[in-house]
Amino acid sequence: MSEQTPIDKAAIEQAQEAVRSLRLRKQQLDKDSLDLILTDARSHYAWTDKPVAKELLRQIYDITAQGATSMNSCPARFIFVDSDSAKERLAKALKDKNVEKMMTAPVTVIIAHDLEFWKELPFLFPHEDRRPHFEGKATHAADTAYRNATLQGAYFMIAARAMGLDVGAMSGFSNQIVDEEFFANTSLRSNFLCNLGYADESALFQKLPRFPFEKACSII
């Protein structure tokens, strides 16, 4: 077991001041920003041929990585399917109607999770050794990995939109085939796919309805 990292009071004070300073500079997003990332954003399935820069993928990940996860576990892994050969491999797992959507997207991301994420906790959560919470507890580790990686997948989609890309998440595929094709003999498992690029808006139809607050929410 790793030794507990001493508490750094100066680092704690610096982190708290950073949050206070940010709130003074920016208390909330403006309407256009909210529209871009969620309120008026759309899922896209048709794409222009404008390529996505590799550096932009790195920037989107760096933003995503700052999102909250349980014990800072960060179990998500992002596999960027960019080459024709990798797309052909991925196509084996897709339902027929989704193949063209994926093949024409500049990049498709396999959003996966690492079942052995907990082995990295000494680095990610250094002030207390939380590995005993998961070691030998495969079901608990799998549930934690899946839940938190799904959160990270959502962070990723919002970050991509914030950086000017369009996204189209897909679940119409075989997780088993993806795992066999890309993650054989590893501790990674696929969750969902997300196409990335610059959308062809001419393929859109009207936005579908959402439940109102009264239908979906309660205050108790």
φ/ψ of 11, rounded to 5, equals -65, -35
* Residue 3 counted as domain residue: no
Q: What is the pLDDT of residues 147-156, one digit of tens each?
A: 999 999 999 9
End-to-end CA distance of the chain: 43
* Residue 209 counted as domain residue: no
Percent of the chain with pLDDT strictly greater than 90? 93
What is the spatial distance between Cα 110 and Cα 175, in angstroms, rounded to a whole number? 10
Is residue 72 within 8 Å of 197, Cβ to Cβ?
Answer: no
4 or 169, greater pLDDT: 169
Q: What is the pLDDT of residues 100-136, one digit of tens each?
A: 999 999 999 999 999 999 999 999 999 899 999 999 9
* Residue 4 counted as domain residue: no
Helix (H) or strand (E) holding 80: strand 76-81
Total domain count for the chain? 1
* Residue 127 counted as domain residue: yes
The CATH number for 139's domain is 3.40.109.10
Q: Which residues, 6+ apart, have CB-to-CB distance to 164 below 8 Å?
A: none
* Residue 1 counted as domain residue: no
182, amino acid identity: F
* Residue 22 counted as domain residue: no
* Residue 91 counted as domain residue: yes
Task: For residue 89, give its domain range.
Answer: 30-201
pTM of the model: 0.92
Q: Where are the alpha helices (DSSP H) in 52-201?
A: 54-64, 84-91, 96-104, 121-124, 138-162, 175-182
What is the spatial distance between Cα 119 and Cα 165, in angstroms, rounded to a whole number? 33
Asked whether the predicted pLDDT for residue 2 surpasses 80, the reply is no
